[in-house]
Amino acid sequence: MKHLTILVPDVQTGPNTLSCIIGSYHIFTEANRYYSLNNKDQIFTIELAGVTKQSDFVNGLLAVMPQKDIESIKKTDLIIIPAITPDFRKIEGKNSLLVTWVSAQYRKGADVASMCTGAYLLASTGLLDKKSCSIHWNAVVNFKNLFPKVNVKPEKIITDEQGIYTNGGGYSFLNLLLYLVEKYYDRPTAIYCSKIFQIDIDRHTQSDFIIFNGQKSHGDEMVVQAQEYIEQNFSEKISIDELSRKFTVGRRSFDRRFTKATGNTPIEYQQRVKIESAKKELETSRKTINEVMYEVGYSDVKAFRDIFRRITGLSPIEYRNKYSKIPHN
C-alpha cells in the first residue's frame, strides 16, 4: 500500500489551509472506501503530518492535531501541500522544516501536489524552478516576483510535470484531488468521487474566474501613471509609442519597465483592461455583443472574440450565458 502525507503547516495558515487538509483527507478516504466496496485493495494509507502537536487555524477558532511528526515519516509516495497565507514573503517558523522534508522526499521518489497558495511553500524548495505552476490569479504578481525561475500558468486549473502537481485558487483544489484520484486509482473512482462530492470533473481552466486589477504596488511611479492613463482611456486607440513619449521614456525602456512592474506588456495590459470592462457589461447589461465590443474600443468582431477567448477561455456569448441572469432577446 502507498503512503499519502497531508502536510499541516505550523504558521502562515488561513481558512483555506484547513479546507484543503479536510478536503484531501475526505476525498482520498472515500476513494479508498470505494475501492474496498469493489473488492480492490485500498491504494493509500493516509496520514496528516506536521512539526507541532497542534496547529491553530482561523485565529485559534479551530485546531488540527497531526497524526505524525514529519521526521518520523521516512518514506512517502504522495505529499499534499495545502494553501497557506496569500501575503507570503518568505517561509516562516517551523514551515522551513516542511520545505527541507519535502525536498528530501521528492529526491526519494515521492510525488508532490500543492494547492492554491501552497505553491509558495513548494516553490521555496526550488523544485518548481523551470517547471510549470498554477496558483490563484490574485497571487500571480507576488509569486512571480518571489520566484522568477518558475513558469507560472495562472490560466491553468492543474499543472502536472515530473511528479509535481499544482492547481489554481480557491476551491479548485477539489479538481486537483479528482485528477490525483484518477491518476492513482482509476477513472471510475474519480467519476464516483465527482458525483459523491458534486465536483465538476475535467475542468482545465480558471481563466473565466480572473478579475483583472492592475498591480500598482510595484513602486515605479511612471508605470503607475501609465496604467492609470490606460485605465481611464481604454476605449480609445492608444499608441504605445505615443504613450512612451508622453512619459518621456524610450519605447524599449518603457516596455521593459512596464512589463517588469505589472507582469504584462503595455499591449497586454490594454487588452486585459478592455476585456475586464467587457466582462462587466456582459454580466450586468442588456447590450449586444457588438455594442459592448465598440464601447471597449474594438471594431473587428473576430479580433475581439479571439482576444476575449484567449483571456477568459470563453467566447463573449458563452461568458454572458454563464454569468448573466439578465434575459436577452
- The region of weakest confidence among 140-144, 186-190, 193-197, 294-298 is 140-144
Encode pLDDT of 303-321 as tens digits. 999 999 999 989 999 999 9
Question: Mean pLDDT across the stretch 247-265?
Answer: 92
Mode of pairing for the β-strands spanning 68-69 and 44-50: parallel
Q: Note the pLDDT of residue 86.
A: 87
The CA-based angle 281-171-79, given to 5 degrees, is: 145
Buried-state track 227-237, b at ≥16 Cβ within 10 A, e below 16: beebeeebeee
Q: Where in the chain is the domain with CATH 3.40.50.880?
A: 2-207
* Tens-digit pLDDT profile for residues 272-301: 999 999 999 999 899 999 999 999 999 999
Length of the chain: 329
Sequence-distant (6+) residues with CB within 8 A of 189 are 31, 34, 35, 181, 182
Please tell me whether residue 213 adopts helix, strand or coil conformation: coil
Confidence of residue 57 (pLDDT cuts 50, 70, 90): confident
In terms of CATH, what superfamily is 2-207?
Answer: Class I glutamine amidotransferase (GATase) domain (3.40.50.880)
Taking only the tens place, the pLDDT of each residue in 196-254 is 999 988 777 777 777 788 878 888 999 999 999 999 999 888 899 999 999 999 999 99
Q: pLDDT value at position 329? A: 54
The answer on pLDDT for 192 being more than 90 is: yes
- pLDDT at residue 146 tops 70: yes
pLDDT confidence of residue 253: 94
| Average pLDDT over every residue of 258-262 | 90
Strand ranges in the chain using DSSP code E only, listed in sequence order: 2-8, 44-50, 55-57, 62-64, 68-69, 78-81, 111-114, 132-133, 151-152, 158-161, 164-167
DSSP secondary structure string for all residues of 88-147:
--S--TTHHHHHHHHHHHHHTT-EEEE-TTHHHHHHTTTTTTTSEE---GGGHHHHHHH-
| CATH for 221-323 (1.10.300.10, 3.90.226.10, 3.40.640.10, 1.10.10.60) | 1.10.10.60
Greater model confidence, 65 or 79: 79
User: pLDDT: is 181 or 63 the higher one?
Assistant: 181
% of the chain with per-residue pLDDT over 90:
74
In this prediction, residue 267 carries a pLDDT of 94
What pLDDT was estimated at residue 214? 80
β-pair type (78-81, 68-69): unpaired
The structure's pTM equals 0.77
Which residues in the chain are classed under CATH 1.10.10.60? 221-323
Residue 19 predicted with pLDDT over 60: yes
